[in-house]
Amino acid sequence: MRLASHAGKKRFIIDPGEYYVSDEDIIISTLLGSCVSACLWDPVNHIVGMNHFLLANKRYSRDIPLIASEAGRYGIHATELLINAMQRKGANRHLLKAKAFGGSNVLMGVNQGDSHFAIGDVNCRFITEFLSNEKIPLVSSNLGGNFGRIIHFAANDFSVYMKRIGQSEAQGLAKEERRFYQHEISEQERKKKENSIQFW
């Protein structure tokens, strides 16, 4: 996470795997490709939060509930961390509202096929299912497509400003996301091996 400023306000820039929560008049920003960000707010207690996550799994079958997958459990964890941090600041879970962005299919060639979802599609599906299951209204969204996005979430009025990124920026973003994706897959495989060891 990096701290910058815009128009005299603090601007917190988050990266994949991160989230930020505040009760101050700040801006939270991020750059999205296949990743998704959920922008949540409690309009009564004026608490805001945003995360940035990528569900990484080698294959996503259309016949298996996403929530039941290993990647789905990671997505639940990432979003619950955000909600829990907001509640610690004073937010009421029952008052939360959401906007969601990202889920572009910039990682072409990864997890694509007739019977399996592409990564961006999976992230879009996850966030809409999660919010629906948790009864958090999705007020607006800009999900999917084949372009990256820069988003800025303003805490003062809960607005989100979005800008599509150019082709050259998208190529750099895809490279970064591919590295993050491969790292997450390697971590999953390492943990599986550790968990498969039996001590007698």
3-state secondary structure 39-91: EEEECCCCEEEEECECCCCCCCECCCCHHHCHHHHHHHHHHHHHHHHHHHHCC
Note the pTM of the prediction, 2 decimals.
0.79
**Confidence at residue 33, expressed as pLDDT on a 0 to 100 scale:** 87
The answer to the question of residue 70 being in a domain is: yes
The tokens for 197 are 């060891």
Number of domains in the chain: 1
Under DSSP, the state recorded for 33 is S
Dist CA 16 CA 180 (whole Å): 8
**Confidence at residue 120, expressed as pLDDT on a 0 to 100 scale:** 83
**Confidence at residue 114, expressed as pLDDT on a 0 to 100 scale:** 40
**Confidence at residue 78, expressed as pLDDT on a 0 to 100 scale:** 82
The answer to the question of residue 123 being in a domain is: yes
The answer to the question of residue 120 being in a domain is: yes
Helix (H, G, I), strand (E, B) or coil at 142: strand
The answer to the question of residue 183 being in a domain is: yes
The answer to the question of residue 39 being in a domain is: yes
7 forms beta bridges with none
pLDDT means per 10 residues in the chain (200 residues)?
86 92 97 92 98 68 53 74 96 98 73 54 88 95 92 97 80 70 65 55
End-to-end alpha carbon distance in the chain: 43
- H or E stretch at 97: strand 97-102
Q: How many Cα atoms sit within 13 Å of 41 on the Cβ side? A: 23
Dist CA 133 CA 127 (whole Å): 10
CA distances to 35, 45, 56, 130 from 73, rounded to whole Å, are: 16, 29, 11, 11
The answer to the question of residue 200 being in a domain is: no
Per the rule left: phi > 0, alpha: psi between -120 and 50, beta: everything else, 94 is alpha
**Confidence at residue 190, expressed as pLDDT on a 0 to 100 scale:** 67
The answer to the question of residue 19 being in a domain is: yes
**Confidence at residue 179, expressed as pLDDT on a 0 to 100 scale:** 72
**Confidence at residue 112, expressed as pLDDT on a 0 to 100 scale:** 46
Question: What is the CATH number for 183?
Answer: 3.30.1330.200
Domain of residue 91 covers 2-195
**Confidence at residue 140, expressed as pLDDT on a 0 to 100 scale:** 97
**Confidence at residue 110, expressed as pLDDT on a 0 to 100 scale:** 47
Is the CA virtual torsion 175, 176, 177, 178 positive or negative? positive
The answer to the question of residue 124 being in a domain is: yes
Q: How many Cα atoms sit within 13 Å of 26 on the Cβ side? A: 19
Phi, psi of 154 (to 5 degrees): -95, 125
Contact 126, 68 (CB under 8 A): no
